């Protein structure tokens, strides 16, 4: 549908209606601007249809199933079953709910219905730049339409990266976009890639207890960019959940047999192994969706990594901006939304502060979950920042004890100087996603460690673990390292120690 019958130039044209593009268009509406959204695929993009919302809905269902299946809490559920079709329908229901929320708001502020300042027009198709002022849209229903605007925002997102020489057919060899194509739980699944997505689906399918999961990666650890304690925490719990992990393993080939797949793995020590499975899920990262944009039309070339290079204001060229997965920043929905909104603010001259990527929080939905904000130890060492780090085990937190879920810990890093600035946090265990926001907020507003401790946390809550972890750094914690050396830890590092 299009709602610009007089073909007037829009104030802003947003190419892509994922979470970032949608948020940016609504920020333009706030400013009283006439915005146009171009989207040829699913409204909500990967963030809704195949990525964050869909996979986390499945994770919640899997978590609930795993808790119901427990037999160590004084109860035992009988007749517990899992039906993949029913699970899939629940996921699709959640997806459609969000998609119709987005579409309803777009329609509410369409020029056909909205008489206030600003408007949102929606064109279903794929945009390609003809110049810095015009985009030609190949319409879903056929034909083309030309859209002109003062500003453009590229928010076309990304897609799963293909494994060289391996074709994903969406039936037996899948990528993350294909998971909802399944009609039943695979009996045996091999997941290639132990990054966040690979580990999340390992947790999901193993939680349901219907699938034997194998996880293979070329690195020595899962989630290799995180510190070893986080990586070990994740791998330990995946193994406890029945996942077989192959490390330093490279996928050589997949041989399709009538009733199974043979996965050939080559290891760093020179050996090989063949594993028989029913389904393979390839999860080795993502590739930006920029091929259809005709970037030559605006004299823009992707960088060596194949993404768009933006400046500190999310600008690619004079009047063309970009946000989210098409840029050189991490693929996170909250980051993409922040960039999209900021780009619009900069276009119209009301950006008041610079973007801050150092306190961007994220959640990794494993079993149990892991959350992160700011620097980890590896990041501090790369930057030669002297630091002190403390960790406080959830086993000492009353709420975790009450929940009968004492695995995990809070880990906080501060600069090892007089300022003792909060540099980052990792939280592993129940309610990690809520706990991480305490430190994310403090990183913005608390100048140092002492200021961060002015807040008294409610009892009993998981956030009390954060409070105690901060106290550990000041040697004022209620439970002491001397009594619980496996649960309370503090150490320091300085650049000179590397020598």
Residuewise pLDDT in 10s, the chain (499 residues): 444 545 679 999 999 999 999 999 999 999 999 999 999 999 999 889 888 899 999 999 999 999 999 888 888 888 889 999 999 999 999 999 999 999 999 999 999 999 999 999 999 999 999 999 999 999 999 999 999 999 999 999 999 999 999 999 999 999 999 999 999 999 999 999 999 999 999 999 999 999 999 999 999 999 999 999 999 999 999 999 999 999 999 999 999 999 999 999 999 999 999 999 999 999 999 999 999 999 999 999 999 889 999 999 999 999 999 999 999 888 889 999 999 999 999 999 987 788 888 888 899 999 899 999 999 999 999 999 999 999 999 999 999 999 999 999 999 999 999 999 999 999 999 989 888 888 888 888 877 888 888 888 889 999 999 999 999 999 999 999 999 999 999 999 999 876 5
Q: Are 341 and 379 found together in one domain?
A: no
Q: Looking at the structure, tell me whether residues 451 and 478 fall in a common domain.
A: yes
CB atoms within 10 A of CB 431: 21
CATH of the domain at 148: 3.50.50.60
- Residues 23 and 133 placed together within one structural domain of the fold: yes
- Does 200 lie in the same domain as 98? no
Q: Which residues contact 103 (CB under 8 A, 6 or more apart)?
A: 43, 122
Residues 396 and 332 in one domain: no
- Among candidate residues 232, 258, 284, the one where a domain is terminated: 284
Tell me, what DSSP letter sits at residue 269?
Answer: T
Q: What is the pLDDT of residue 366?
A: 93
| β-bridge pairing 422-428 and 370-374 | antiparallel
Say if residue 193 is in the same domain as residue 272.
yes
Report the distance separating Cα 368 and Cα 188, nearest Å.
22
Question: 302 by DSSP, 3-state: which?
Answer: coil
Any idea what the Cα angle at residue 219 is, between residues 216 and 221, rounded to 5°? Answer: 85
Q: Is 430 left (phi over 0), alpha (psi -120 to 50) or beta?
A: beta
Q: What pLDDT sits at residue 206?
A: 97
pLDDT at 58: 96
pLDDT value at residue 435: 85
Tell me if 74 is assigned to some domain.
no
Q: Mutual orientation of helices 19-30 and 333-347 as an angle, nearest 10°?
A: 30
Query: Taking Cα atoms as reference points, which of 294, 288, 163 lies closest to residue 216?
Result: 163
388 and 342 together in one domain: no
The pLDDT, as a whole number, for residue 7 is: 63
Residue 248 sits in the same domain as residue 341: no
Structure tokens that stand for 230 in this block? 């986080």
Beta bridge partners of 488: 392
Whether residues 16 and 152 fall in one domain: yes
- Domain of 374? 368-498
Residues 6+ apart with CB under 8 A from 32: 117, 118
pTM higher than the cut 0.75: yes
The answer on 278 and 296 residing in a single domain is no
302 and 238 share one domain = no
Using DSSP's 3-state secondary structure scheme, residue 3 falls into coil
Q: How far is residue 499 CA from its own chain's centroid? A: 36
Q: Which residue in this structure is represented by tokens 């400013």? A: 31
Do 230 and 124 reside in the same domain of the chain?
A: no
Q: What is the total count of domains within the chain?
A: 3
Q: Torsions phi, psi of 114, nearest 5?
A: -100, 125
């Amino acid at each position: 549908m299009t709602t610009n019958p007089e073909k007037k130039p829009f104030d802003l044209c947003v190419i892509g209606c994922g979470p970032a593009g949608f948020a940016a268009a609504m920020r333009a509406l706030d400013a009283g601007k006439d915005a146009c959204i171009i989207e040829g695929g699913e409204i909500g993009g990967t963030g809704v249809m195949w990525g964050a919302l869909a996979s986390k809905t499945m994770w919640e269902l899997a978590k609930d199933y795993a808790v119901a299946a427990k037999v160590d809490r004084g109860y035992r559920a009988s007749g517990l079953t899992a039906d993949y079709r029913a699970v899939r329908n629940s996921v699709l229901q959640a997806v459609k709910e969000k998609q119709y929320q987005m579409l309803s708001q777009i329609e509410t502020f369409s020029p056909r219905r909205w008489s206030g300042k600003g408007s949102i027009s929606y064109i279903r198709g794929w945009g390609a730049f003809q110049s810095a002022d015009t985009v030609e849209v190949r319409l879903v229903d056929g034909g083309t339409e030309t859209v002109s605007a003062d500003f453009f925002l590229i928010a076309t997102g990304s897609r799963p990266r293909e494994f060289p020489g391996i074709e994903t057919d969406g039936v037996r060899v899948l990528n993350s976009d294909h998971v909802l194509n399944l009609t039943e739980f695979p009996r045996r699944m091999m997941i290639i890639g132990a990054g966040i997505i690979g580990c999340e689906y390992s947790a999901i399918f193993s939680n349901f207890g219907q699938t034997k999961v194998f996880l293979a990666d070329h690195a020595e650890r899962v989630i290799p960019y995180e510190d070893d304690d986080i990586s070990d925490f994740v791998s330990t719990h995946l193994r406890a959940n029945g996942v077989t992990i192959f490390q330093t393993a490279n996928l050589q080939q997949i041989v399709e047999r009538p009733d199974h797949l043979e996965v050939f793995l080559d290891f760093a020590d020179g050996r090989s192994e063949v594993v028989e499975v029913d389904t393979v899920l390839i999860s080795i990262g993502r590739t930006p969706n920029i091929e259809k944009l005709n970037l030559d039309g605006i004299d823009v070339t992707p960088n060596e990594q194949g993404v768009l290079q933006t400046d500190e204001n999310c600008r690619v060229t004079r009047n063309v901006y970009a946000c989210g997965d098409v840029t050189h920043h991490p693929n996170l929905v909250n980051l993409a939304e922040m960039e999209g909104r900021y780009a619009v603010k900069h276009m119209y001259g009301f950006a008041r502060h610079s973007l801050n990527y150092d306190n961007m929080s994220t959640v990794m939905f494993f079993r149990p979950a892991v959350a992160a904000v700011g620097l980890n130890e590896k990041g501090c060492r790369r930057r030669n920042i002297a630091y002190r780090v403390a960790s406080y085990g959830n086993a000492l937190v009353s709420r975790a004890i009450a929940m009968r879920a004492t695995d995990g810990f809070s880990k906080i890093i501060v600069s090892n100087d007089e300022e003792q600035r909060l540099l980052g946090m990792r939280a592993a265990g129940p309610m990690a996603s809520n706990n991480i926001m305490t430190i994310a907020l403090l990183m913005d507003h608390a100048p140092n460690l002492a200021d961060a401790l002015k807040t008294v946390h409610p009892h009993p809550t998981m956030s009390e673990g954060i409070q105690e972890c901060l106290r550990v750094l000041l040697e004022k914690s209620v439970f002491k390292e001397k009594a619980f050396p496996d649960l309370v830890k503090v150490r320091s590092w300085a650049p000179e120690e590397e020598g």
